[in-house]
Chains A and B, each alone.
Chain A
Amino acid sequence: AQSVTQLGSHVSVSEGALVLLRCNYSSSVPPYLFWYVQYPNQGLQLLLKYTTGATLVKGINGFEAEFKKSETSFHLTKPSAHMSDAAEYFCAVTSGYSTLTFGKGTMLLVSP
């Protein structure tokens, strides 16, 4: 069985500040990990994914995430927040033929 825990249902940052959204996963087999972003009344857009190889993954819009097996973590970061980053972010895990298991999401609020 797989599971994802996202710490913090809401994260508030000021524009220009570092963004850090936390994700911890549980998986009995090597995982594939994803971060998706959801804007109001829209579907999910893939930000980045980890499959194999380099543990530091770069995604769209300046986001990146690092896979840390020893900590079972896949935290999402961005050096400088922009107002347009305000949205809900979902971490998800899968492996092989299984389907995606999502966390409950973290709402990112960006203030001017």
Chain B
Amino acid sequence: DAGVTQSPTHLIKTRGQHVTLRCSPISGHKSVSWYQQVLGQGPQFIFQYYEKEERGRGNFPDRFSARQFPNYSSELNVNALLLGDSALYLCASSLGGTEGGYGYTFGSGTRLTVV
């Protein structure tokens, strides 16, 4: 079985540009969450989607947006990139519903560098 797939694996962007990160969840999983992990820190929650609806949003500016498609894949978009957006962006897949009992499976992440 394929795990959680994220693309691209690495990305270099210039300040002010826009970026789109993509995630395909495990087959049968209906929930996707996005996390930002800055070097030396734990992952911070950005968004959660379940059945194409936004279920939760973390404390991130409006420059960050996301969506989930009918096939449950997801995109994370970041506008007007800042140097501080440089981080590993992780996508987590879960069955949905009551999350706690099932846990989350993470992809390998997209390493974004803003120069």
Q: Which residues from chain A sit less than 8 Å from chain B, CB to CB? A: 4, 31-32, 34, 36, 41-46, 49, 51-52, 90, 92, 94-105
Contacts and interface: CB of A to CB of B under 8 A. Distances in A.
A102 B101 contact: no
Count class of interface residues, chain B: 20 to 34
Contacts, number: 66
Given A44-B43, A44-B90, A94 B56 contact: no
B111 A41 contact: yes
A103 to B, nearest CB: 6
A11 to B, nearest CB: 15
Contact of A102 (B43, B56, B107): B43
B8 interface: no
Q: 3 shortest A-B CB distances, which residue pairs?
A: A32-B100, A102-B42, A44-B106
A47 B11 CA distance: 29
Contact of B33 (A45, A99, A103): A99
19 contacts: A31-B100, A32-B100, A32-B103, A34-B104, A43-B4, A43-B106, A43-B107, A43-B109, A44-B106, A46-B103, A46-B104, A49-B103, A92-B42, A96-B98, A96-B100, A98-B56, A102-B42, A104-B42, A105-B40
